[in-house]
Amino acid sequence: MRLRRQPRAGETGRDQGPVLHDDVRIGRGTVVRGAVLEKNAEVPSGATTGVAPARDAEPHTVSKGGATALGEARRVSLAGTGGQ
């Protein structure tokens, strides 16, 4: 995992190979797998990103290899992630 200045992850948040840019916020109980999160992006508590590329492709960019890119100051929606 490559980190830049001040990414913040909640106590039980899990990351699996993401690239986190400045001031990224990852909530408690999240799963971030193989995603690129740009500056000020947010994955709220209970959400997932990079786990289901087909689902991620609707609101975000997904590469041919399945990596999800969350643009600057974007937020992952809890819809369909199992989060509350």
Considering the entire predicted model, what is its pTM? 0.68
Distance from C-alpha of 61 to C-alpha of 76, rounded to nearest angstrom: 12
Distance from C-alpha of 84 to C-alpha of 81, rounded to nearest angstrom: 9
pLDDT for the residue numbered 12: 52
Phi, psi of 24 (to 5 degrees): -75, 140
pLDDT for the residue numbered 7: 55
pLDDT for the residue numbered 6: 54
In the numeric block, the tokens 């997904």 are attached to 62
Per-residue model confidence as pLDDT tens for the chain (84 residues): 344 455 555 555 555 678 888 888 888 888 888 888 898 888 898 888 888 888 888 888 888 888 888 888 888 877 655 433
- 8, containing H or E segment: strand 8-9
